Amino acid sequence: MRVTKANTRIWLLAIAIAGYAGLHYLLIYAPYLSPWGEGPLLALPLAPPLASWVMLRRIAAQHDATLRRFWQLIGFSSLIYAAAQLVWDALYLANDGPPRSPSLADLLWNLQIFTMIAAFVYLFGKHRNLYRGMRYLLDTLTVIMVVGTLFWVYAVSPGLWAFWETRNGFEFLATAMYPVYDFIALSSMSALFFGYRTFLSTRAWLVMTAAIVLLGISDGLYALLAHRGESFIASWTAPLYGISIMLFPLAGLFPNARQDETPGREEQLSSPARSQIRTFLPAVALVVLVGCALDQLEQWNGVLIGGSLTVAVIVVRQMIVLRENEALVKQSQHLLERYEYLANHDPLSNLPNRRYFEQRVEEALAGREMQGAEMKTVVIIVDLDRFKYANDTYGHAAGDLIICQVAERLTAVVGNRGIVARQSGDEFAILLEGRYDRLDLQEWAQRVQRSLSRPFHLAQRVEFLMTASLGITVAESGEEASDLMRSVDLALDKAKSQGGGKVVFYTEALSEAVTRKLEMEQALRRALEQDELRLHYQPQVNAQTQQIVGAEALIRWQPKSGAMISPAAFIPIAEETGLIVPIGEWVIRTACIQALQWFGEGLGAFQISVNVSSRQFQETDFAAGVLRIVEETGLPPDRLVLEITESIAIQDEGDAIVKLLAIKNAGIQIAMDDFGTGYSSLGVLKRIRVDKLKIDQTFVRDIGGNEEQATIVEAILAMASSLKLEVIAEGVETADQYQFLRSRGCGWIQGYYFSRPLPADQFGHAYVRKR
């Protein structure tokens, strides 16, 4: 048997109870060993209730609200017992002998037993299935009342009436009610045991039963000794009180039953023999009582015989109905348990689902006040990188295999130190509670990542490698579960945005960044509606003649109140939210209209270039939308150039070629932007047949002083010449750069060396109207 801290405490308390009993009996049967006379016999009974009260307070603090109040009431009962014992000792010393009942001590003892009964009644009333508990209570009362009746008639009654003749009614009740209270407490506890065993473990119930039985025996014998006028403190039954009081904290040390199951699930007595005993025992007890009643009659008659047979028939019928009801209840409970399991678990991985996980997070946060500030509630979200690639490549069956393997690995890493749940898709959640600092959590994250970095075994000996992104957050004081989950989602989003395989801890800065992002998104929507977007135009000139041959339309955001906002600040948000689609359409339409106006003002051989975003290009009707704008504005198609990046062309190459060919067939030109920064530029150029190449400014920037960069630019120019492609060098800022590109045969130049991007009116004044 595995030795635990709880087991050690149980054994120590059991030894302490045995030691107390041994010492008490030694003082009773060997009084000559004590030089203080009856003093130790008066003081020793104070120790068990006081010790029980102290231990039960600590036990109560370790349970949830319902059981905490139950153990607090039991502990308060022990404290009242100690007070009663102290008063009785004081009266004993004052009277130089046992005080006459009733006394203040009797009043306190009655209150003590009443408080103990209140604890069981409270536990009984807190359960949701009251009718079920009432049935078990009535069954239990039936058996106990029959046994109590027989015990009363044949054992208690003869001596009790003699006691009644020597005392008044108040004195009689003050002493005789002790066993009655114990009887009520035993009945309540028996009903709780048979009806709701999952409150406590079976061992705890048995120990409490022993405590109440010992308490009932002690109270019964106390009443008998009081009737005889004998001293109780020197009787063999006196230590039984202390033993019974100490058994309650012993019961509280046993762990709760079925803690691993869904909260609220009720245990059924699985043994058929126990179920039959529970059903038939009340009926058998009733038959025995009827038989004893008939035995007490001096004369039989037909009414009694007929009545007895009628009772027997009713009892048999009732037992049949009860068996049928129990079968129906068991069937409905099985269905309910299955429903609860499905409602709280993911059917593929068999892990708890999001609903159950968030419930446990709420419970953990609610219990933090009792655990202390050093106890942390930690939530970790794990997202599988490249899981979609596995699904798309090997099929959803392979994806399901990965999910199951991930569930097994995470469960093995966390063990019984936390909860693992599947949130959705390829996202898993971990709940930890304990004394963790940042280094501890980093170690947890490394364990998770090491576990998930091992190959996943798929069908036909296929192995698949993945990484995982992790978001981690630690609950702050007073934080709600919804806030905690939002925080960890922000941390996970940050980890995924860094390329995957990263671990990010939530900080307040993440929340502030999201807030700013949301505010900018809302402002950007308003900007589109309120015409706050502007286009600036940067001229493109012929490198040999320095004549303007085109312009690139560049978007700017000028709020009605405030400074202009850089595209680097709002374009990523527009991409993420999808606003880039309507914004991109506005840019193409506005640029076409402006170019057409300049043509009318005398600007001849001129092309307008517009950047196309990846999100915009993914729209199924992108090509049709561009052609519609060109047709509606009346711009000659060959005057429009769409600039795309290589990443756009290779995301879905087949779809990209279809769209680009539709655009090229209409006469619109295609320019490859940021050329040289991709992965397979030559292959892409061959397949989609672009018209222009734009040399990225990172190559242009250092051509004056970096021989390697200059060699790359020369190679691009040579390749473009062989493919008969026009080349545009962007980012030209110095005369040296311009002269280098011109001498190497570069066709078009764009950059600050000639002009910064200008608003439409300034561009028209500088390059159109002055012609």
Q: pLDDT tens digits, residue range 651-661?
A: 667 788 888 88
Count of CA atoms in the C-beta half-sphere (13 A) of 514: 15
Give the pairing of strands 418-424 and 376-384. Answer: unpaired
Element (H, E) at 589: helix 580-600
Select from 2.30.110.10, 3.20.20.450, 3.90.950.20, 3.50.30.40 the CATH code of 524-767: 3.20.20.450
DSSP bridge pairs for 538: 552
Closest to 350 (Cα-Cα) out of 406, 415, 394, 396:
406
Q: Check pLDDT > 50 for residue 261.
A: no
Mean pLDDT of 692-716: 82
Q: What is the pLDDT of residue 541?
A: 93
Q: What is the pLDDT of residue 174?
A: 54
Distance of CA 477 to the CA centre of its chain: 17
Mean pLDDT of 752-765: 91
Q: What is the pLDDT of residues 673-683, one digit of tens each?
A: 877 665 545 66
Q: Are 694 and 728 in contact (CB under 8 A)?
A: yes
Q: Check pLDDT > 50 for residue 268.
A: no
Name the DSSP class of 417: G
CA 245 – CA 665 distance, rounded (Å):
96
CA 671 – CA 271 distance, rounded (Å):
80
Strand segments, DSSP code E, in 288-404 are: 376-384
Query: Among 266-280, 443-457, 752-766, which is the least confidently predicted range?
Result: 266-280
Residues 282-301, buried b or exposed e (16+ Cβ, 10 A)? Answer: bbebbeebbeeeeeeeeeee
Name the token pair of 583: 């914004």
Equal CATH topology for 354-506 and 524-767: no
In which band, very low, low, confident or very high, does the pLDDT at 363 lie, cut at 50, 70 and 90? confident
Domain edges within the chain:
5-267, 354-506, 524-767
Dihedral sign, Cα of residue 363, residue 365, residue 370, residue 372:
positive
User: DSSP for 522-541?
Assistant: HHHHHHHHTT-EEEEEEEEE
Between 89 and 312, the higher pLDDT residue: 89
Q: Which residues contact 625 (CB under 8 A, 6 or more apart)?
A: 585, 619
CA 442 – CA 433 distance, rounded (Å):
15
H helices of 634-690, where?
646-651, 653-665, 681-688
Distance of CA 524 to the CA centre of its chain: 35
Mean pLDDT of 710-714: 85
Return the C-alpha torsion angle 559, 563, 567, 573, nearest 10. Answer: -60
- Please report where in the chains the tokens 């995924």 appear, as a residue: 496
Element (H, E) at 660: helix 653-665
Q: What is the pLDDT of residues 179-211, one digit of tens each?
A: 666 666 666 666 555 555 556 777 887 888 888
Q: What is the pLDDT of residue 298?
A: 59
Q: What is the pLDDT of residue 603?
A: 80
Tell me what the pLDDT averaged over the chain comes to. Answer: 80
Name the token pair of 197: 């065993």
Class of domain 354-506: alpha beta
Between 498 and 288, the higher pLDDT residue: 498
Q: What is the pLDDT of residues 313-359, one digit of tens each?
A: 776 777 777 777 777 877 887 888 888 888 888 989 899 999 999 98
Give the pairing of strands 548-557 and 748-750. Answer: unpaired
- Percent of the chain scoring above 90 in pLDDT: 22
Q: What is the pLDDT of residue 320?
A: 74
Q: Are 745 and 544 in contact (CB under 8 A)?
A: no
In which band, very low, low, confident or very high, does the pLDDT at 578 lie, cut at 50, 70 and 90? confident
Q: What is the pLDDT of residue 264?
A: 40
Residues 435-445, buried b or exposed e (16+ Cβ, 10 A)? Answer: ebeeeebeebb
Q: What is the pLDDT of residue 262?
A: 38
Length of the chain in terms of residues written: 771
Q: What is the pLDDT of residue 605?
A: 77
Q: Which residues contact 119 (CB under 8 A, 6 or more apart)?
A: 70, 73, 74, 77
CA 240 – CA 681 distance, rounded (Å):
93
DSSP bridge pairs for 554: 536
Give the pairing of strands 692-695 and 669-675. Answer: parallel
Q: Check pLDDT > 60 for residue 131.
A: no
Q: What is the pLDDT of residue 759?
A: 93
Query: Diameter of the chain by CA atoms?
Result: 139
Amino acid at residue number 733: E
Distance of CA 686 to the CA centre of its chain: 53
Distance of CA 374 to the CA centre of its chain: 20
Amino acid at residue number 294: L
DSSP bridge pairs for 671: 643, 692
Find the distance separating the first CA and the last CA of the chain, reported in whole Å. Answer: 99
